[in-house]
């Protein structure tokens, strides 16, 4: 299963993107800002990053 990082500051948009991707079979992690996304990228491995 592919892992996707969603970097989006609007929680409602991030939730919508996450819901669609999880329903399609992807594992998603949400970062609410660029600093949090950068920290996650240093600690974890992702197949794709969607950036706002």
pTM here? 0.92
- The pair of structure tokens assigned to 36 is 């949090």
Give the ranges where the chain is alpha helix by DSSP (H): 11-23, 34-43
- Its CATH architecture, for the domain 3-51, is 3-Layer(aba) Sandwich (3.40)
Instruction: Map residue 36 onto helix, strand or coil.
Output: helix
Which residue ranges make up each domain of the chain?
3-51
- Strands (E) in 1-52, as ranges, are 3-7, 27-31, 48-51
Confidence at residue 10, expressed as pLDDT on a 0 to 100 scale: 97
Confidence at residue 42, expressed as pLDDT on a 0 to 100 scale: 97
16-52 per-position pLDDT tens digit: 999 999 999 999 999 999 999 999 999 999 999 999 8
pLDDT at 2 over 80: yes
Confidence at residue 1, expressed as pLDDT on a 0 to 100 scale: 73
Tell me the mean pLDDT in the region 6-15. 98
Confidence at residue 52, expressed as pLDDT on a 0 to 100 scale: 87
């Amino acid at each position: 299963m592919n892992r996707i990082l969603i970097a989006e500051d609007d929680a409602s948009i991030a939730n919508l993107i996450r819901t669609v991707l999880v329903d399609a079979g992807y594992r998603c992690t949400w970062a609410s800002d660029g600093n949090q996304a950068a920290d996650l990228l240093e600690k974890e491995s992702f197949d794709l990053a969607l950036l706002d």
